[in-house]
Structure 1
């Protein structure tokens, strides 16, 4: 975890006085978060996450808030530690000499929240459903002959050819981790969402207190048996030291800030950057960056419908966009954002910025307008979805709308909350019938640093990521990456993928920024993971 204390941002010459004033003015509007009598003696962590939660299926949805929910309720077979090494979690494993057979053995003491034992049959059903949804798992499943439960605790995974990265795919943190569910739940079609939320993870989802988009409650699973090893990354012992965790939604950032400084909540997962100088004046609050790789903002176009079913239109749109304006509008303070055209992240082993020159230079509206005219644009409306409840992230669609209008596009900017956007982006309908043309989102460094796990790259049409790009050449490059011998060959393939992504405009990288967390100093021992988890956390008296 990186702690820091930045100098004051312009406009906050007396941050301490501003904090006192904000606390007085906003106190009356703070959510009623006082614990009920029944919970008064319990240790409860109250957190404002980056978004409200409505979608509860972490296999169908790639939204980070749904992934975070998944880590609360479900467990995984293997996990990556703080050093990036794969470690046993629910299961240990053995590999045959020919590297074609992986045998996983479930550890003792695993049970679901409904009291049933976790069995190999549950694992097989869960892996099959996950394999039908996840982009990286798709390659793994192509190399899979069978996944079988040979007894209650043993799963035998047989490959048709060696897949050296099998454990890495199985242990990846995001965006669709291989969560294990009961067989009856995992039997749900991968094209439908689950309706029962029973896991074997360290927390139980309290369905009776769930208010979609407003509040979600988890209670400690008393029968959870953590591993004996110390927690490291997302591996090791998931020891729960609190009774309840409540995620509450506060769309207004100042209200959340005031609640944190007044001790009414314990954590803000994504703090508004221009409020950090106020938070930093509080002796009771720690401000920190969870993920040093940061997050990459991006724009995704819909390949299924005009105008962006035509690559010339996508190229014209990308030519109109610039990273500096997007990041400056969203974040403001350059201490917390950086321009980066590398789809695998700047400063990473595979980081390469080929093809991103116009993006980093601020775009070229005149060139974009000329490209649009040459492509024969017929004034088809471009529906841009804007989420207005996830802080400054909602400003990027406004910038994109302005840039595209200046380039000659007919833009329809439509506002909604993030969970509505998450649901609507799955619609393949035409924009005039509830579909869309562009939305913006973000990917974390840990989920976007290789061609194997990058969530947006799969370009297999209707089975790919939202926007449904179809690019067989890109898929061949991703497959070649799996068989690359050594880092230098991997780098060359990554370079080719970088060029292909921007040439075909699979998505548009808009720059990188820090997710800055603020927490009460009473909240101790929070693990320094890119994914926020609530095991190991304690509350000081």
Structure 2
């Protein structure tokens, strides 16, 4: 399975090569992001922006290497798993300090994992399978499962709705002190201006070579400033001028302009992931599965992708949730349910389903400009199909707040990288906004997650995808590539879906 996952190195199409020179400590970099993160508690948010910033402050037991294999981070080694798949024993690294100077031990880990299963959507996803989390001694944690749960290691490694380890004394539901074990720590946050992280001099790096998100993490920089720049055109001009050292989430039409810039170069992640329309299956018009399927029938994925990304250099029309480079790729359920572009047929289907003109509230943001462009195209197709469209354009932080309220929306637009483990897909969790919870989902997902054999899991994933297409809890639009920019003076930054700046330094 691992051999077909796309490694980080294959994601880089165009970027300035890192000079093979010694990296020195010192300096400040400014990173332009799409906006203000709604929180700095990565357990309580699935927003990529939250993970991008907070992964520098907080750490998890495991993370992912360049080949997207789970690798130890705060854990000493990979978990020891009993033959029946029900007992995970985690050995912890010794000598790890929190940013408040206290030592990390198993009590902190147990408290943190309990908080994760209580507050985090992905933790709640795992909680139903967990019997207990205990600490036999100060350097060991045991997770006892009710039944085998194959995605657990990957969930513990993920920086999204993350199982971060924080001091046992700082476990309040609402985080007010931001104390982790990461290479950088929070110094100041000025809303809508910047988030200032400074080097944590007590950081204990792993000794092995850097490897994706894993291995050694070197804090060369004195300071990292994450600056919200919500307007996409402003981000483009700032990237071209070299105003920021790294600019995230640029519209793809900026690629050629960046190639000819003097101060910066483009970085293209190919393939990055997929745009997705998530339905509110709990309340409102989209609670009706046949209405959801009628909405899907109306849409032209091809026209939405063309509007959002322009050239097929930056997108591909494909209904398989995972593209062909991944072992998980399957066309199960896709035929007849993708890119129909049939508003007339959709109108008849919606009427037959009992749709009576209720508003279809589409929640989107212009901070990811391609989301907004897709929403515009979708709205026109839905109007042709007789749907009453209510487009709600808000900033990204507001969107992430509103999507948690079942009464406020019918569709929200987001995107996801291609994740190394399908069990990480948020919409598979009944607690994720969308709240997909049906007997068919439970049977397919639980069977998939309980199976440990890689070959059998591939076949079982096809069954899950079949149910996704049969019940339409969300719609994959297609595949897309992501553009960012990097300053010519910045080195040590590898292309990655969630950019990270440990190991980064400024050329002297």
The reply on whether 1:493 has 2:460 as its aligned counterpart is yes
* Cα-to-partner distance string for 1:278-323 (whole Å, 9 max, x where unaligned): 1101243221224x33211011111222311111111111111121
Q: CA deviation at 1:246?
A: 0.9
Q: Distance in 2 between matches of 1:64 and 1:475?
A: 26
1:225 to 180, 190, 204: 204
Q: Equivalent residue of 2:296, what SS? A: helix
The reply on whether 1:397 has 2:371 as its aligned counterpart is no
Q: Which runs of 5+ in 2 are unaligned?
A: 1-8, 16-24
2:414 to 419, 422, 441: 441
Q: Distance in 2 between matches of 1:365 and 1:164?
A: 41
Q: Is the 8 A contact 1:337 1:511 kept in 2?
A: yes
Q: Which runs of 5+ in 1 are unaligned?
A: 7-40, 430-434
Q: CA 1:74 to 1:5, structure 2 compared with 1: closer, same or farther past 3 Å? A: closer
Q: Distance in 1 between matches of 2:75 and 2:398?
A: 37
- Report matched runs for 1:79-478 at 5 Å: 79-93=63-77, 95=80, 98=83, 100-133=86-119, 137-138=123-124, 140-163=126-149, 165-171=151-157, 173-188=158-173, 193-207=174-188, 210-290=189-269, 292-358=270-336, 360-429=338-407, 435-446=408-419, 450-458=421-429, 460=430, 464-478=431-445
Q: Distance in 2 between matches of 1:289 and 1:496?
A: 32
Q: Is the 8 A contact 2:232 2:367 kept in 1?
A: no
Q: CA deviation at 1:249?
A: 2.0
Q: CA 1:163 to 1:496, structure 2 compared with 1: closer, same or farther past 3 Å? A: closer
1:71 to 55, 72, 76: 55
Q: CA deviation at 1:218?
A: 0.9
Q: CA deviation at 1:185?
A: 3.0
Partner of 1:37: none
Q: CA 1:410 to 1:85, structure 2 compared with 1: closer, same or farther past 3 Å? A: closer
Q: Distance in 1 between matches of 2:346 and 2:500?
A: 43
Q: CA 1:512 to 1:220, structure 2 compared with 1: closer, same or farther past 3 Å? A: same
Q: Is the 8 A contact 1:45 1:246 kept in 2?
A: yes
Q: Distance in 2 between matches of 1:159 and 1:490?
A: 19
- Report matched runs for 1:19-30 at 5 Å: none
Q: Equivalent residue of 2:249, what SS? A: coil
Q: Equivalent residue of 2:485, what SS? A: strand
Q: Is the 8 A contact 1:112 1:182 kept in 2?
A: yes
Q: CA 1:101 to 1:500, structure 2 compared with 1: closer, same or farther past 3 Å? A: closer
Q: Distance in 2 between matches of 1:135 and 1:476?
A: 20
Q: Distance in 2 between matches of 1:473 and 1:288?
A: 41
Q: Equivalent residue of 1:148, what SS? A: strand
Give the alignment's Cα RMSD to 1 decimal. 2.4
Q: Is the 8 A contact 1:52 1:419 kept in 2?
A: yes
Q: Is the 8 A contact 1:355 1:498 kept in 2?
A: yes
Which one has a bigger Cα radius of gyration? 1
Q: Distance in 1 between matches of 2:93 and 2:502?
A: 20
Q: CA 1:322 to 1:351, structure 2 compared with 1: closer, same or farther past 3 Å? A: same
* Cα-to-partner distance string for 1:505-538 (whole Å, 9 max, x where unaligned): 1101111111112111211111333221110011
Q: CA deviation at 1:418?
A: 0.8
Q: CA deviation at 1:3?
A: 4.4
Q: Distance in 2 between matches of 1:378 and 1:53?
A: 37
Q: Distance in 2 between matches of 1:162 and 1:304?
A: 29
Q: CA deviation at 1:332?
A: 0.9
Q: Distance in 1 between matches of 2:128 and 2:379?
A: 40
TM-score in terms of structure 1 length: 0.84
TM-score in terms of structure 2 length: 0.89
Q: CA 1:224 to 1:485, structure 2 compared with 1: closer, same or farther past 3 Å? A: closer
Q: Equivalent residue of 2:285, what SS? A: coil
Q: Greater RCO between the two (CA within 8 Å, min separation 6)?
A: 2
* Cα-to-partner distance string for 1:337-382 (whole Å, 9 max, x where unaligned): 1112112344321212333345644521010011112122221112
Q: Equivalent residue of 1:452, what SS? A: helix
Q: CA 1:389 to 1:281, structure 2 compared with 1: closer, same or farther past 3 Å? A: same
Q: Is the 8 A contact 2:359 2:388 kept in 1?
A: yes
Q: Distance in 1 between matches of 2:41 and 2:469?
A: 31
* Cα-to-partner distance string for 1:31-50 (whole Å, 9 max, x where unaligned): xxxxxxxxxx9511111123
Q: Distance in 2 between matches of 1:96 and 1:378?
A: 53
